[in-house]
Amino acid sequence: MSSRNNYYLSSFFWSTVSKLLNAVWGFITVPLLLGYFGKAEYGIIAIATSWNAYMHLLDLGMNTGAVKFFSQWAAKGDRAKISRVARTNITFYMFVALVNALFLLALAFWGEPLFSISHEEFLELRICFFILALFTVISWGATSFNQLLIADKQLDFTMKVQTIQTVLKMALIFITIKGEMLLIQYFFWLTLIIALAIVPYAWKCRRDNLIDSVKPAMYWSEFKTVLVFSLSLFALSLFQVTASQSRPIILSIFSYNGADAVADFKVVEVIPAFIITLCGSFTSIFLPKTSEMIVRNDHDEIMAFLKKWTSITTIIVCVLCFPFILSNSTIITAYVGESLSHLGRWLALWCIFLILQLHSTPAFSLIVANGKTKALVYATGISCLISIIINAALCKRVPVGSAVIGYSVYMTILVLVYYIYIYKRYLNLDRWVLAKSFIKPLLLAVIACVVPYLVRLDVSMFDSLNLVPRWSNVLLFGVNSAIWLLCYFVLLKVFGLFPSIKSVRQ
**Which candidate, 504, 249, 278, places its Cα nearest to that of 402?**
249
What letter would DSSP give residue 77? Answer: T
H, E, C per residue of 428-484: CCCHHHHHHHHHHHHHHHHHCCHHHHHHCCCHHHHHHHCCCHHHHHHHHHHHHHHHH
Count of CB atoms within 10 A of residue 401's CB?
A: 17
Residue 406, in any domain of the structure: no
Average pLDDT along the chain, 506 residues, taken 10 residues at a time: 54 75 77 82 84 74 81 82 90 91 92 84 92 90 87 84 90 91 92 92 89 87 86 73 80 79 84 77 70 76 86 92 92 83 91 90 78 77 90 88 91 88 80 90 95 83 75 88 94 86 56
69-95: buried (b, 16+ CB within 10 Å) or exposed (e) per residue? bbbbbbeeeeeebbbbbbbbbbbbbee
Residue 208, in any domain of the structure: yes
**Which residues, other chains included, contact 269 with Cβ-Cβ below 8 Å and sequence gap of 6+?**
none
Q: What does the alpha-carbon distance between residue 88 and residue 378 come to, in Å, rounded to a whole number? A: 30
Q: What does the alpha-carbon distance between residue 471 and residue 14 come to, in Å, rounded to a whole number? A: 29
At residue 284, the pLDDT reads 65
* CA 364, 370, 371, 377 torsion-angle sign: negative
DSSP 364-432: HHHHHHHT--HHHHHHHHHHHHHHHHHHHHHTTTSHHHHHHHHHHHHHHHHHHHIIIIIHHHTT---HH
At residue 267, the pLDDT reads 85
Counting Cβ atoms within 10 Å, is residue 468 exposed (0-12), middle (13-18) or buried (19+)? Answer: exposed
At residue 4, the pLDDT reads 45
At residue 6, the pLDDT reads 61
Per the document, the length of the chain is 506
Residue 389, in any domain of the structure: no
Helix, strand, coil percentages (3-state) for the chain, rounded to 5, are 85, 0, 15
Query: Over the stretch 189-244, which tens digit does the pLDDT of each residue have?
Result: 999 998 999 999 999 988 988 888 888 889 898 888 888 888 766 777 777 777 77
73 lies in which domain range?
A: 1-232
Residue 192, in any domain of the structure: yes
Total of domains in the chain: 1
CA distance from start to end of the chain: 19
Global model pTM greater than 0.75:
no
Residue 308, in any domain of the structure: no
Q: What does the alpha-carbon distance between residue 35 and residue 120 come to, in Å, rounded to a whole number? A: 19
Residue 89, in any domain of the structure: yes
Residue 31, in any domain of the structure: yes
At residue 127, the pLDDT reads 94
237 contacts 96 by C-beta, under 8 angstroms: no
At residue 419, the pLDDT reads 87
Cα–Cα separations (whole angstroms), residue 454 to 85, 106, 289, 462: 59, 56, 44, 19
At residue 63, the pLDDT reads 76
At residue 506, the pLDDT reads 54
186 contacts 41 by C-beta, under 8 angstroms: no
336 contacts 31 by C-beta, under 8 angstroms: yes
Residue 239, in any domain of the structure: no
